[in-house]
Amino acid sequence: AEAVTLKMATDSGAKGSPTGDAMEEWAELISESTGGDVEVEIFYQNELGGQQEVFDLFVAGDVDLMINWPMTSYDKRISVVYTPYMVFTWEEALDAYKPGGWVHSMMDGIYADIGLKFFGAWPEGFNGVATKGRYATTVKDADGLKVRVPPTFPFAETLQAMGYQTATIDWGEVFTSIQTGVVDGDAANVIYWDYEYFRDTLDYYTQTKQNFITGILSMNLQSWESLSADQQKAVEAGAVKIMEKHFAAAREIDRSYVEKAKEAGMTYVEPSDADMKALAKTVRETVWPQMEKEVGAEIMDVIRKNASKL
Amino acid sequence: MALDAVAIAASLLVTGLLFVLVLTRYVFGWNFSEAHDLSLLAAMFLYMTGALIASRRLEHLTVDFLPSQISRARAKAIHRAVVAAITAVICAFFIYWAYRMFAWGLMRPQTTPALRLPLWIPQASIMLAAVGCFAYALRDLIAGLEDVRRSGGQDG
Amino acid sequence: MEAALAILLLVVLMGLGVPVAWAFAGVLAYLVHIYDANLNTLMLQGFRSLNSVVLLALPLFVLTGYLMQSGGIALRLVNFIEAIVGRRKGGFGASLVLTSGIFGAISGTATAAVASIGTIMIDPLEKRGYPRGYSAALLGIASLLGILIPPSITMILFAVVTRQSVAACFAATIGPAILLSLGLLIFNRVSVGRAFDEQLTGIAQKAERRGAIAKALPALALPAIILGGIYGGIFTPTEAAAVAVIAALIVGAFVYRDLTWARFRSSVISAAETTGSIVLILLFSFMISRILAFERVPQDLTEFVTGFATDPFWALILVNAVLIVAGALMDDVSVTVVIAPLFLPVVTAVGVDPLHFAAIVGCSVVIGANSPPVAPILYMACRVGRISIHHAVGPSLLLIATVALPVMLVTTFWPELSLFFPRLFGFY
Ligand code: NA
Ligand code: NA
């Protein structure tokens, strides 16, 4: 086969970060198993612009491979990865996202429609709500807490169903507004971010687990089709390998940040099983019908059929 | 002028939408998430009509070291025509780049995050600026050549 | 080679008097050609860079500056400061500096300060013995306090292109701003009696002074509202810009009643024009940066510089020199959006904090906007002061050498000056 150089980029990690290291490993796996026929050039976070800009380059084929956050501007159905309360444990999440898993099959179809090849997940973990002053494990307690949510559907809708007031604040102003107190907390992140940026400002991290937060490993479809069958196999096998490795590692990383947050004086709250089920029930009842309007009944039927039982 | 009206309306919209966003969040705790989509849309038209107005009034930021050294009327006129000609050629590229953005957008259409407005609506402002600035450059080129001709008559 | 040709093309186009925005677009056309850039995404990338919530503060803070002028806010501030310091030795020069500072705490640009403070103050200063060239030069530097004291358009642009927090960048230039104010006040105090004699004529009476102070209260409420709102957690810096416009409108139209519909209209149009010309430069320079990023120019530059300037001292000296030379040859917007992001990886590679670098860039803009041949703020101060440029160049260079440059060097080699306020507000 002909020798090619692929461009790989991320929107979520500098050189030396877990994502940065994983890109290097993926690149090496590809190079090794093709005997150097496929080389990979890496661009770390922000080197080619912001999230949306790099995703544009990816869809257009200027970038061939990515580990990135799902972006919904080309196809609103991609927001299905943000469906609240789909899975409850790491095992369920891995089963859903690995090749042959139900989320994998669902996403593969949607990604193909915008010209991308879906390989798998790059998980961060289950998210929660970090707040100042008080915390909530029930809809009633959340009343009056104003939290920041990302502008993507259905984050605001999910947090509202959980009882919070929400404020959409641009990514560029999130840190400022939480530090100055424009909002009382941050509501869609895994504990890592809230520890890293807000441990002096926010007092509680309540792991309500409404979303399994994950990046996506994928490839531009035209670039994919330009590879030989062996080269394709090498790229996909590399993706699956770093994904499985990261599923184990991410869980440990997440757990270690719970400990670090506690040491830093944040209170880590795990809602009781009953509270969690009540939250999940309410949120599913409120948000899933809204999602159906956005992503269609066909996709929601798949979710209803496969989502973890309450 | 229509441009002035657009610039005023867009300025008021950007200001008003963000102000209402602050007010409703601070006072009522509402999430006026459409404010960003709408104010960005208005801002794109504010930026591009602003650029057009600057072209119309020849107020674009310019390094006027050389022009300020030229004193003869004929030389001034030639300089004006040359700058206008260069600007027109560059604006033609600008139009072509904007056109390619639209062509790509037809193949891979996108929407804004909150209101799901088609992305070509804010992008249209860029095409407006490209075409308008090209037209003003032509205006300056014609006026410059006219001055060259006239000052040539005076000198000869 | 390509890079050298691109820079040459830029210099030739700008030198010819082609507007800066089109000069950048011309360089972009050249780069697109030699690097065979993908035109499907070229303009889309430019569009993305403008379609940013954080950038919304730019048009709004520009508009605030114009409204302060047309709404009579600037006039009340000048009268207020004069009432307080006007009777001391060097008092009128000092009031020019202090008014620029307070003006800067409301507005984000230097141009609005030059236009309004210059129009109001340069004639009275001359009556009291200050040479027009001296006043124009002092105003040229002092007006740049507006971009060091938050809110600041330079810092908004810096934050947008380098993906830093706007509020943190705002806080980083407060320390240098205080130092620059002190430097200017001392310079002015030393000049009086040496460079020229001050005549204490036309000093306001006690009752007049009390009146001036009372009338300034609504104007003085503006910086309190804006900065209090940002750091008190009521709104974000972007939203603050909208609040500033509304507040300036209310004070100008209903409290001072200077803001008529006609003046409002012309302020909005002028603000749109200023914004539009900045934004076009931003648009094309973003697209240039993206092509350079694909060609790994920032990485190569970092390797090159850190290759021979291994310790932070020499790397910083080099970056300072580049910023000053670029500032002499380019306008402030270009330096902020092109040079700053290119050199951010260089300075972070030698351990400089991005916020510290933000303050260095801010100081370099103070010098660059006043250093010939390309000195837009100094020239504007001369135009407003109705004085030919060569009368102001001498005093301006003296001010740069004895005040602005030392401030930049202190900022560069004493990180705590710029990091103190970000730390105080919890950003660092
Ligand atoms: Na300011
Ligand atoms: Na300069």
Q: Residue C113 has what pLDDT?
A: 86
Q: How many angstroms separate the CA atoms of A265 and C202, rounded?
A: 62
Please check whether residue C266 touches B, CB under 8 A: no
| 3 state DSSP class of B113 | coil
Confidence label for B154 from pLDDT (cuts 50, 70 and 90): low
pLDDT level of residue A292 (50, 70, 90 thresholds): very high
Q: What does the mean pLDDT of chain A come to? A: 93
Cβ distance A170 to C53 less than 8 Å, yes or no, reads: yes
Residue B72: partners with Cβ closer than 8 Å, 6 or more residues away:
none
Q: Which pLDDT score, from 0 to 100, does residue B156 have?
A: 40
**Per-domain residue ranges of chain C:** 20-424
Q: Mean pLDDT throughout B4-20?
A: 98
Nearest Cα of chain A lies from the Cα of C7 at a distance, in angstroms, of 22
Q: Which of C233, C236, C425 sits opposite A173 (nearest CB)?
A: C236
Q: Is the pLDDT of residue A64 over 70?
A: yes
Size of interface A-C (CB pairs under 8 A): 85
For residue B4, count other CB atoms closer than 10 A to its CB: 16
Amino acid at C212: A
From the number of C-beta atoms within 10 Å of its C-beta (0-12, 13-18, 19+), residue C133 rates as buried
The alpha carbon of residue C6 is apart from the nearest alpha carbon of chain A, in Å, by 20
In this prediction, the answer to ipTM > 0.85 reads yes
Residue B91 has pLDDT above 90, yes or no: yes
Q: Do B53 and C272 touch (CB under 8 A)?
A: yes
Q: What is the pLDDT confidence band of residue A168, given thresholds at 50, 70 and 90? A: confident
8 Å CB contact between A184 and A141: no
Does C18 sit within 8 Å of B87, measured CB to CB? yes
pLDDT of residue A2: 74
Q: Sheet containing A212-220: which strands, arranged edge to edge?
A: A38-43, A4-10, A65-68, A212-220, A116-126
State in Å: Cα C106 to ligand 1 middle: 6
From the list B25, B33, B111, which residue is nearest A73 (CB)?
Answer: B111
How large is the average pLDDT for residues B120-145? Answer: 97
DSSP state of B109: -
Q: Find, among C150, C171, C174, the residue nearest to C57 by Cα.
A: C150
Asked if B134 has any chain C CB less than 8 Å from its own CB, the reply is: no
Nearest residue on chain A to C161, judged by CA atoms? A49
Cis-peptide into A289, omega within 30 deg: no
CB contact under 8 A, A49 and C49: yes
CA distance C309 to A295: 55
Examine the pLDDT at B122 and tell me if it is beyond 70: yes
The two three-digit tokens of residue B89, written as one number: 């050629």
Residues of A near B (Cβ–Cβ under 8 Å) read: 59-60, 72-74, 76, 114-115, 144, 146, 149, 151-153, 156, 160, 165-168, 170, 182
* pLDDT beneath 50, residues of chain C: none
* Residue C207, CB-side half-sphere exposure with 13 Å CA sphere: 0
Closest-CA residue of A relative to C293 is A48
- C-beta atoms of A52 and C48 within 8 A: yes
Task: Tell me the C-alpha to C-alpha distance, in Å, between residue C249 and each of C55, C120, C269.
Answer: 21, 20, 15
Between B50 and B63, the more confident residue is B50
Three-state DSSP at A147 gives strand
Helix axes C389-399, C132-142, angle to 10 degrees: 50
User: Closest-lying ligand to the alpha carbon of C103?
Assistant: 1
**Closest ligand, as measured to the CA of C369:** 2
pLDDT at C206: 81
**Cβ proximity of A75 and A133 under 8 Å:** no
Q: Does residue B144 have a pLDDT over 80?
A: yes
Closest ligand to C-alpha of residue C370 is 2
Residues A229-240 as b or e (16 or more Cβ within 10 Å = b): eebbebbbebbe
How confident is the model at residue C166, as a pLDDT? 87
Distance C223 CA to ligand 1 centre (A): 9
Q: What tens digit of pLDDT does each residue of A104-159 get? A: 999 999 999 999 999 999 999 999 999 999 999 999 999 999 999 988 899 999 99
